[in-house]
A and B are shown apart, each in its own frame.
Chain A
Amino acid sequence: MSLRESLASGQLHGYRQDLFGMLSKRWVFVALTVVPALAVFGFVNMFPMLWALAASFFEVGAFQPSWTWAGIENFETVLANSDFWASIRRSVIFAAGSVVLQVTTGTALAILLDRKFSFKRVIRAIALVPYIVPTAVLSFVALWMGNARYGIINQLLVEVGLISEFIAWYGTTDLAMLSVIVTSSWKFTIFVTIIVLARLQSIPASIYEAATVSGASRWDRFKDITLPNLKGVLFIVVLLRGVWMFNKFDIIFILTNGGPINTTTTASIYAYRTAFSDFNLGEAAAVSTLLFVLLVGAAIVYFYFFEPSQEVRVE
């Protein structure tokens, strides 16, 4: 019997009825939508987190399978180590610098893209490229662009006359952190742009027009309409970018490997080194656990002080 015939006879209709009936059951629906995501989350996120949490209370060597109970010894060692605190400080600098740069340039780019002008699509596409390209690829491109001998950035800056000689952007202690911040922002700015642009486009044009006719200048409109409307979304963007940049590992690891002379060894690089150079897995787990606690604490403070429920006004 063909599909058409089945439909005509109403037989298929019966099967569909049963299918819809089953899917409409609450527990079936919940299971189908939530369980897969939960399973992945549990396997990829929760399990390693709990594993690390457990490991932080043991002495775990890389070459011996047995764990030895150590209590809070790992934490004591880590907290007493000035290298750990220095790495935290670098994470904060890296996160704060990246967030400021990404949010300001990202918002500016969004405001630009919100206007009508020619080549808008081209610019949007170009801005999206670094975000789509894998971090490793982008990092190597950045490394070559900033290369002290052949780098195009050096070439351009010398030609323009901003610098007099080639600079090892990622290899100079004074500049490495700044260079890493700029490179990471190059990649992630468009994230801010995409979210801010979505919000900008949801602001009705008539609100701007009403303000314009009633005497508001371009600056007034930006300050009194655009910015207040962006508050809520910027709150979320700063939070997300802050957390992600604080934990950033890959781009820094590839660009500088934490160097030169540890100037870019952020907390996550420090944790990696503890685990895979010093082979002290227990201590590395303690570092990770401390980072987790620190971020949760920071997020709570952030939410407490900025009261997003008031800022994120949904009409």
Chain B
Amino acid sequence: MTVEVKSLTKIYQVGSSEELAVDSIDFEIGANEFFTLVGPSGCGKSTTLRCIAGLETPTSGQILVDGEDVTQTAPNNRGLAMMFQDIALYPHMNVVENIAYPLKVRGVDKTERQERAREVAELMQIPELLNKYPGELSGGQRQRTAIARTIVYNPSALLMDEPLSDLDAQLKVEIRKEIQRIHERAGVPTIYVTHDQSEALSMSDRIAVMNDGHVMGIGSPDELYESPENTFVAAFIGNPSINLVPATLGDGGGDRVTVDLGGEATERELTEGRPVGTDVEVGIRPERVDVLPDPDAGKLTGTLELIERIGDRRLATVDIDDGEIRALNLSTDTLAEGSTVSVAFDWADVHLFDGESGEALAHPIADVQRNEPTESV
């Protein structure tokens, strides 16, 4: 089973004006692939999913399930399954009736559908809840029931619209695992929508980052993290977010240029030529930045504004002339907020983006090439 989205566009009529929710997007989801649509709210990810489900009619474009055009097929005949943010269990049916409902509308007789619902409930570890009503279940139990309901009829794809966003952190991790287990077991494409990039990174085979109705970048979690196509993807993927510092291209021009930053320069090869003097943004992940107590030891000098604890790590925010730098590597425990420090990083770790279009010009140099003398000039 595969799912294909071809130049999908959705325009909503809001009063007399038109609102472009999804602007001609394309992607293809392979058999058994876990594919995530991620982006800030209002980016069109849910609309895209609802178009695939058939709950919204695309303004133009096509949806193909297993090579077959289903754009005009009614949602109840597409053979898909969907999980919703508010879980959407039927409040007047007990758990077994909820799980068996898709079988009921398919005309499966009562004993068989009860049997199959029981099996799936077993799989979801909720066999003792069969006769309870949704109102009597905990959040996690409801989620499990909802998952059971989506897989009981062997759908051709699983669609999930932020199913975890109302759960507490611990439950999130638990249900996340369940979803992945079910995805593996069902062996069908899963299309998952979330605004949480860490959720996307941890679950997906491939991710499409969306913004403003466009797909800004598409790829595996590693690809998006290591070589983002543009500043939007770079900034959206990864937490804490990437540092972007403005700089100007120096000597050379064309493919091979130097970048000046903090009095230091490096020579880099660009994927696309740019003339000398082009404004660029230097991107560097906080994971790759060190904070040094000596103001002159690093590349840039600034004031240590803030130290926050994020899990087991400490995040430092350093104010520099051109903004701020977030860093996760604090060289000593004695760094004090308010003191003058310097930040250091390896030139090999930086991304370069076009200052105007945000397009990526260069990505960090892979570790294998690190030892070659390409570093500073």
A: residues with CB less than 8 A from B are: 204, 206-207, 209-217, 220, 224-225, 228-229, 313, 315
Question: Which residues in chain B, 89-123, are within 8 Å of chain A measured between CB atoms?
Answer: 89-93, 101-102, 104-106
* Contact across chains for A207 and B134 when beta carbons are under 8 A apart: no
Q: Which 3 A-B pairs have the closest CB atoms?
A: A214-B102, A206-B88, A210-B88
Q: Which residues of B contact A212 (CB under 8 A)?
A: 54-55, 75-76
* Contact across chains for B76 and A229 when beta carbons are under 8 A apart: no
CB distance from A71 to the nearest CB of B (A): 53
CB distance from A261 to the nearest CB of B (A): 49
Give complex CA distance A216, B105 in Å.
6
A210-B84, A213-B81, A214-B153 known; A313+B91 contact, CB < 8 A: yes
Pick the residue among B79, B88, B149 that contacts A204 (CB under 8 A): B88
Q: Which residues of A contact B84 (CB under 8 A)?
A: 206, 209-210
Pick the residue among A207, A209, A216, A229 that contacts B82 (CB under 8 A): A209
27 sampled A-B residue pairs with Cβ under 8 A: A204-B88, A206-B84, A207-B90, A207-B91, A209-B82, A210-B84, A210-B149, A211-B90, A211-B101, A211-B105, A212-B54, A212-B76, A213-B53, A213-B76, A213-B82, A214-B81, A214-B105, A215-B77, A215-B79, A215-B105, A216-B101, A216-B102, A216-B105, A217-B105, A224-B101, A225-B90, A229-B92
B86 within 8 A of partner (CB): yes
* Contact across chains for A315 and B91 when beta carbons are under 8 A apart: yes
Pick the residue among B79, B133, B149 that contacts A313 (CB under 8 A): B133
B291 within 8 A of partner (CB): no
Give complex CA distance A212, B53 in Å.
9
Q: Which residues of A contact B153 (CB under 8 A)?
A: 214-215
B83: nearest residue on chain A (CB-CB)? A210
* Contact across chains for A313 and B82 when beta carbons are under 8 A apart: no
Give complex CA distance A211, B135 in Å.
18
CB distance from B154 to the nearest CB of A (A): 12
Q: Which residues of A contact B88 (CB under 8 A)?
A: 204, 206-207, 209-210
Which of B53, B93, B101 has the largest number of chain A CB atoms within 10 A?
B101
Q: Which residues of A contact B135 (CB under 8 A)?
A: 313, 315
Give complex CA distance A227, B89 in Å.
16
A212-B76, A213-B53, A217-B105 known; A204+B82 contact, CB < 8 A: no
Pick the residue among B92, B93, B150 that contacts A214 (CB under 8 A): B150
B85: nearest residue on chain A (CB-CB)? A206
B80 within 8 A of partner (CB): yes
Give complex CA distance A216, B81 in Å.
12
CB distance from B121 to the nearest CB of A (A): 16
* Contact across chains for A216 and B76 when beta carbons are under 8 A apart: yes
- Other than the known A212-B75, A214-B102, A214-B150, what 20 A-B pairs have Cβ atoms closer than 8 Å? A204-B86, A206-B85, A209-B53, A209-B55, A210-B88, A210-B90, A211-B101, A212-B54, A213-B75, A213-B76, A213-B80, A213-B81, A214-B76, A214-B82, A214-B101, A214-B105, A224-B101, A224-B104, A225-B90, A315-B91
CB distance from A65 to the nearest CB of B (A): 59
Give complex CA distance A204, B104 in Å.
21
B159 within 8 A of partner (CB): yes
Which of A215, A217, A313 has the largest number of chain B CB atoms within 10 A?
A215
The digit string for B143-160, where 1 denotes a CB below 8 A from any CB of A, is: 000000110010000010
Q: Which residues of A contact B81 (CB under 8 A)?
A: 213-214
* Contact across chains for A220 and B90 when beta carbons are under 8 A apart: no
Question: Which residues in chain B, 44-89, are within 8 Å of chain A measured between CB atoms?
Answer: 53-55, 75-82, 84-86, 88-89
Q: Which residues of B contact A228 (CB under 8 A)?
A: 92-93
Q: Which residues of B contact A220 (CB under 8 A)?
A: 105
Give complex CA distance A313, B101 in Å.
19
Which of B76, B80, B85 has the largest number of chain A CB atoms within 10 A?
B76
A204-B86, A313-B91 known; A213+B134 contact, CB < 8 A: no
CB distance from A216 to the nearest CB of B (A): 5
Q: Which residues of A contact B106 (CB under 8 A)?
A: 215
Q: Which residues of B contact A213 (CB under 8 A)?
A: 53-55, 75-76, 78, 80-82, 159
B159: nearest residue on chain A (CB-CB)? A213
CB distance from B53 to the nearest CB of A (A): 5
Q: Which residues of A contact B105 (CB under 8 A)?
A: 211, 214-217, 220, 224
CB distance from B184 to the nearest CB of A (A): 21
Q: Which residues of B contact A215 (CB under 8 A)?
A: 76-77, 79, 102, 105-106, 153
Give complex CA distance A229, B53 in Å.
25
Give complex CA distance A206, B76 in Å.
14
A217: nearest residue on chain B (CB-CB)? B76
The digit string for B209-247, where 1 denotes a CB below 8 A from any CB of A, is: 000000000000000000000000000000000000000
CB distance from B235 to the nearest CB of A (A): 32
B80: nearest residue on chain A (CB-CB)? A213
Which of A204, A211, A213, A217 has the largest number of chain B CB atoms within 10 A?
A213
Q: Which residues of B contact A209 (CB under 8 A)?
A: 53, 55, 82, 84, 88
Give complex CA distance A174, B345 in Å.
98
Give complex CA distance A268, B316 in Å.
84
Which of B54, B84, B149 has the largest number of chain A CB atoms within 10 A?
B84
CB distance from A140 to the nearest CB of B (A): 43
CB distance from B272 to the nearest CB of A (A): 43
CB distance from A88 to the nearest CB of B (A): 37
CB distance from A84 to the nearest CB of B (A): 43
CB distance from B57 to the nearest CB of A (A): 13
Question: Which residues in chain B, 249-283, are within 8 Å of chain A measured between CB atoms?
Answer: none
CB distance from A173 to the nearest CB of B (A): 46
Give complex CA distance A168, B91 in Å.
50
CB distance from B195 to the nearest CB of A (A): 18
B84: nearest residue on chain A (CB-CB)? A206
Give complex CA distance A214, B117 in Å.
14
